[in-house]
Structure 1
Amino acid sequence: MSKTLVVVSPDADTLAATVAARLAIKIIDAQAERGSASIVLTGGRIAAKVLATLKDLPAGKAIDWPHVELWWGDERFLPAGDPDRNETQARAALLDALPLDPARVHAMPASDGPDGDDASAAAARYARELVTGGADLPSFDVLMLGVGEDGHVASLFPGHPVLNETGTTAATFNSPKPPPTRITLTMPTIQTADEVWLVAAGPDKTKSVGAALNGDKSLPAAHATGTSRTLWLLDGPAAADVAAS
């Protein structure tokens, strides 16, 4: 059974440093065990801060970056290099400074990619990439998620039809948050990760974080769980409505 752990840092900067340190250790441990690590990245302001912090972290020097497999939990379906794409933000914050193996960096397709503006075809392409060389999904060591003000994770929004998708990936249309078209891992795929980390900072996340952790199952964030462990990594304001255990 998955264990849920809530870790609260006093502020966003300390939270970013905490998450970056945890991520470095998780990667190092996975590589010591198997020779590689598989990480699913997320977008948003706190995610960018985590990656930027990891770049200067001493423990990062112990990571064998060419043997890190990188995936994304969701992506805004925009042209390659668009500043609003999660990939673009991750590259600017950290990835472009690392000796990564390009074949192990699995960005979600862009709207000017091989499938053009067909988001459903692009989502299907990413689903095929996930299972290349085998019938099973990768063993995600850590799958990181931001938590939206409305309790959404990845591009899975409360009450949205995409929540019912049972495939590996899906296209999200008419998203309540711009841009309207996105690509996302589905909830069943998210739930295959060894550890799911939900990272949230700021008073705008207080209500959704508190509701999800206090049992509101209408929120997608309440269903994002890892197979072995689920970590809620929060700053003080985001955790203000979390009931004491």
Structure 2
Amino acid sequence: MPEVIVYADADAVAQSTAARLLVRIGDVLAHRDRADVMVTGGTVGIATLATAAASPLAQTIDWTSVHVWWGDERFVEAGHADRNEGQAQAALLGGLPLPEGNIHRMGSSSAFATAEDAAAAYAADIAEAGDPAWDILMLGLGPDGHVASLFPGHPVYVESDPASASALPVHDSPKPPPTRVTLSLATINRAREVWVVAAGAAKADVVARCVHGDAQLPGAAVRGSERTLWLVDAAAATRI
């Protein structure tokens, strides 16, 4: 089983995860010259980023040595409210001295004709960066047990070869918008640390199924090479 840490409520999850994120980045940079961080959207994920931006700890980090990535993105036009990168930009990235070249956004439909083209471009970006083993990879958890844009029963999750491209196009997503780009499961699991954040009683059943290894759920399949953390509130932990 992964390591499960339970907090009082969703706000405590965001506050504690934000502090953990900044400390972890600082620790990585104390030992290496670069940190690669995968951020996530969702209510708790964005609250975590906003809290990190406001923390005094953020001022202690050399952001020129931090690279920011995404686990998935909605294939819609640039600036669309559905795009994860726009939410992260508003919550965290826009307020940091982070070089634009260090922000690795997934392509939009404004820049690419197809999700296949956007996925190929992101895979090339990852390869050009040396196929990093992400120091921190944060994921939200959907009520159906999906993570990134890997959905239960969807061909991109069920049929993908572990040796396939690091970023994959998704069509007919069960959650709108239907067209997306996602990291593959094998690429996610290359991370040193994977953190899954979840809150609310509505997530209790699926959190328990994932933590106990239900093979049907993508959330149960993600794991870090060094550490896997589930950061949840008390309501989401009641069935574990």
Match of 2:57 in 1: 59
Q: Which secondary structure does the structure 1 equivalent of 2:37 belong to?
A: strand
Match of 1:5 in 2: 3
Q: Distance in 1 between matches of 2:125 and 2:9?
A: 37
Match of 1:157 in 2: 151
Q: Distance in 2 between matches of 1:240 and 1:55?
A: 31
Match of 2:175 in 1: 177
Q: Distance in 2 between matches of 1:60 and 1:4?
A: 28
Could you tell me which runs of 5 or more consecutive residues in structure 1 were left unpaired when the two chains were aligned. none
- Structure 1 consecutive aligned stretches of length 4 or more whose deviation exceeds 4 Å: none
Match of 2:139 in 1: 145
Q: Which secondary structure does the structure 2 equivalent of 1:131 belong to?
A: helix
* 2:89 is aligned with 1:91: yes
Match of 1:239 in 2: 237
Relative to structure 1, the CA distance from residue 133 to residue 177 in structure 2 (aligned partners, 3 Å threshold; closer, same or farther) is closer
Q: Which residue identity lines up with residue 2 of structure 2 in the other structure?
A: T
Identity of aligned residues (%): 48
Q: Which secondary structure does the structure 2 equivalent of 1:100 belong to?
A: coil
User: Residue 67 of structure 1 contacts residue 101 of structure 1 at CA under 8 Å; is this kept in 2?
Assistant: no
Match of 1:71 in 2: 69
| 2:186 aligns with one of 167, 178, 188 | 188
Q: Which residue identity lines up with residue 134 of structure 2 in the other structure?
A: F
Q: Which secondary structure does the structure 1 equivalent of 2:156 belong to?
A: helix
Q: Which moved more, 1:52-61 or 1:177-186?
A: 52-61
Match of 1:124 in 2: 120
User: Residue 2 of structure 2 contacts residue 211 of structure 2 at CA under 8 Å; is this kept in 1?
Assistant: no
Q: Which residue identity lines up with residue 152 of structure 2 in the other structure?
A: P
User: Residue 72 of structure 1 contacts residue 108 of structure 1 at CA under 8 Å; is this kept in 2?
Assistant: yes
| 1:36 aligns with one of 34, 37, 45 | 34
User: Residue 85 of structure 2 contacts residue 105 of structure 2 at CA under 8 Å; is this kept in 1?
Assistant: yes
What is the deviation of 1:133?
A: 5.5
What is the deviation of 1:81?
A: 1.1
User: Residue 39 of structure 1 contacts residue 68 of structure 1 at CA under 8 Å; is this kept in 2?
Assistant: yes
Q: Distance in 2 between matches of 1:55 and 1:220?
A: 30
What is the deviation of 1:213?
A: 1.0
Please list the CA deviations of residues 17-37 of structure 1 after superposition, one character each: whole Å capped at 9, or x if unmatched: 110011001100011101221
Give the root-mean-square deviation of aligned CA atoms: 1.1
What is the deviation of 1:205?
A: 1.2
What is the deviation of 1:214?
A: 2.1
TM-score of the pair, normalised by structure 1: 0.94
Q: Distance in 1 between matches of 2:155 and 2:126?
A: 23
Please list the CA deviations of residues 165-203 of structure 1 after superposition, one character each: whole Å capped at 9, or x if unmatched: 232111110000000000000000001000000000112
User: Residue 152 of structure 2 contacts residue 216 of structure 2 at CA under 8 Å; is this kept in 1?
Assistant: yes
Q: Distance in 1 between matches of 2:94 and 2:222?
A: 29
Q: Which secondary structure does the structure 2 equivalent of 1:238 belong to?
A: helix
What is the deviation of 1:66?
A: 1.6
User: Residue 201 of structure 1 contacts residue 234 of structure 1 at CA under 8 Å; is this kept in 2?
Assistant: yes
Q: Distance in 1 between matches of 2:79 and 2:62?
A: 26
* 2:217 is aligned with 1:219: yes
Equivalent pairs, count: 236
Q: Distance in 1 between matches of 2:65 and 2:98?
A: 8
Could you tell me which runs of 5 or more consecutive residues in structure 2 were left unpaired when the two chains were aligned. none
